Amino acid sequence: MLNQVIIAGRLTKDPQIRELENGKKETIITVAVPRSYKNAEGTYDTDFITCVLWNGIATTTTEYCKTGDIVGIKGRLQKENHGNLRVIAEKVSFLSSKREEN
């Protein structure tokens, strides 16, 4: 069996890191991923995908990424208590950054 997800999209806001009581670091980000086809109105819909980053990945992403940056995420799906799915990131690739342009 396999539970693996790969997405690429833009960050909807600046990543914020928080340290939990057990010492682990966590960042929760939302990635906007446009669909590859147009809807009935002739526009592209966008999916907003919640991703959880832990420890080193969380720290690095918070340091180097800002709103609008494009990231690639490889991870797995996990069901939350209230039924929503989220991606638990195993790897984050920085595909573009506004810092490169400045």
Q: For the domain that residue 97 is a member of, what is the CATH number?
A: 2.40.50.140
Q: Which residues neighbour 23 within 8 Å (Cβ) at sequence distance 6 or greater?
A: none
Whether 101 has a pLDDT exceeding 70, the answer reads no
pLDDT band per the 50, 70, 90 thresholds, residue 96? confident
How far from the centroid of its chain's Cα atoms is residue 36's Cα? 18
pTM (2 d.p.): 0.87
**Quick check: 46 and 35 in contact, CB under 8 A?**
yes
- In tens, the pLDDT along 37-81 reads 999 999 999 999 999 999 999 999 999 999 999 999 999 999 999
Range of the domain at 26: 5-101
The domain tally of the chain equals 1
